[in-house]
Structure 1
């Protein structure tokens, strides 16, 4: 996406990790503002300019890292040392590098799952959570994404005859993962396009009319390579582990706002109820619409971030 779409006051830097990754990080807002960490979805998607619009440019200091291998981070699409534990360590390294004592964390979909894991692992670093359309990383969540109907048909077309013996979603995901990792470039691009069609169907988006450039196709393959890597392994978390983490977060009384689209086909509304039960004091807001952070959901995010009252530590 064009750099010019970002606020003119934003600035970027690269954070090098001890194990050879280079994270692309963008900051928006004044250094003296209330610090907020933004965790993108995917996995593998990277941060988008629209995320900066959730914040008050005069009041908030938004920190938007592209996770390992995602977006503009390098090496692109790499699975080497790409685990949840590594992602969480990256976030702590970033917080300390910026001199931030505590920050609010906002995440959507996969980013919301990562936010829960981070707040559980580093409780003293987080002052508030705003979670949108949380993906709970359970086997049933992955199964629902790529069932035999709907989006699963698009993925099945991409893996061709190799997927015929795998009627279950996990089997199709296994084949897709195999083709995205050691497969040829043509195989990777074909499965990435099929995966994108499946994703667009789930999100209710129209297929892209414009033919993608070669760099765009390679970026897409990197994105879905990471996504397959995490989804097949349930991100190394799983639903029961995330709900236990949520219960520990709830016991500490951390301010939590849960936003969920009433017609979300990607992260089912039932999971919002499970999460709300694990964090009884959390504020659950049902928002008209689906999974994407657009329209009323974008407004709800702005309102939730603005309303989060917590002491700033920088």
Structure 2
């Protein structure tokens, strides 16, 4: 498996969409390699160059776009024309621009939900799916993050924090969404910092220490503005819609690998079981560890990509 020092050899470019967005993308590996699309989580996080380490630099052509408003895409942090329908259109524009007939798709967390929607909407474009820790955008997915008694009970604490269940979680998200859009600079940064702190606890990461530059602060606000925007609306998808999409994907016999961490407390393990039932031919792999694509999960991703490569580009 390639080492993480491979990504610097990648090539970055910008894709201009017909409606005024600029989607930043990174491409790694030879143009003649087996094509793979990588969909990041978040929403709003952007792709990390380290994701390229899942691929063989001599065998695979990996394309890593930052979704609308995320990371290096522009305008950064915008909710304008930022919908799942638009994201799917961007992916198709990216594929045709690069001259790729079909590609495998790797998605983690929110990226796995987007991968399911993409494979359902453009069935002829996708030759294999590798999904990690799928977020199914259902009521219970959001509630698990924002419910006062859920795993993410500290997330957005103090923002309309009374009550429990999805209505209360949605109320906190609405306040956060509007504040991240219309609040003062101090209010925006306070909410984004609070969100990041709680998210790192949920992911079992150490708290961020030390001062942040102004550029880092702005990027943090942009990230959580996009995330609040999508989570409040359940991304315009919802669990029922995604499971129906999964069933249609299953009926086509598309090769699918489902990876889920045994200790994942961000995306429910039940999601993997639901997808496995909807896609009977899917290979379900339980991986030691939590939600992040590191350690055993990173190795499992590389193995799943190599195992799926026979069908990519076929």
Unaligned runs of 5+ in 2: none
Do 1:265 and 1:291's aligned partners in 2 also have CA atoms closer than 8 Å?
yes
Do 2:145 and 2:155's aligned partners in 1 also have CA atoms closer than 8 Å?
no
SS at match of 1:201: helix
Shift of 1:206: 1.2
* Distance across 2 between alignment mates of 1:134 and 1:300: 15
Shift of 1:185: 1.2
User: TM-score normalized by structure 1?
Assistant: 0.95
* Distance across 2 between alignment mates of 1:39 and 1:137: 16
Closer/same/farther in 2, CA of residues 122 and 164 from structure 1, 3 Å limit: closer
Closer/same/farther in 2, CA of residues 7 and 47 from structure 1, 3 Å limit: same
- Per the alignment, residue 119 of structure 2 pairs with 119
Do 1:66 and 1:73's aligned partners in 2 also have CA atoms closer than 8 Å?
yes
User: TM-score normalized by structure 2?
Assistant: 0.95
**CA RMSD in angstroms, aligned pairs only:** 1.5
- Per the alignment, residue 186 of structure 1 pairs with 186
Q: Does 1:151 align with 2:159?
A: no
* Distance across 2 between alignment mates of 1:165 and 1:283: 41
* Distance across 2 between alignment mates of 1:31 and 1:165: 54
Closer/same/farther in 2, CA of residues 42 and 72 from structure 1, 3 Å limit: same
SS at match of 2:156: helix
Runs of 4+ aligned residues of structure 1 deviating over 3 Å after TM superposition are 164-167, 309-314
Shift of 1:312: 4.4
Unaligned runs of 5+ in 1: none
SS at match of 1:242: helix
5 Å-filtered alignment, 1:136-175, equals 136-149=136-149, 151-157=152-158, 159=159, 163-165=160-162, 167=164, 168-175=168-175
* Distance across 2 between alignment mates of 1:15 and 1:134: 27
- Per the alignment, residue 270 of structure 1 pairs with 270
5 Å-filtered alignment, 1:49-64, equals 49-64=49-64
- Per the alignment, residue 285 of structure 2 pairs with 285
Do 1:166 and 1:172's aligned partners in 2 also have CA atoms closer than 8 Å?
no
Shift of 1:176: 1.2
* Distance across 2 between alignment mates of 1:8 and 1:294: 19
How big is each residue's C-alpha offset from its partner over 1:9-46, in whole Å with a ceiling of 9 and x where there is no partner?
Answer: 21011000000000101000000000000000000000
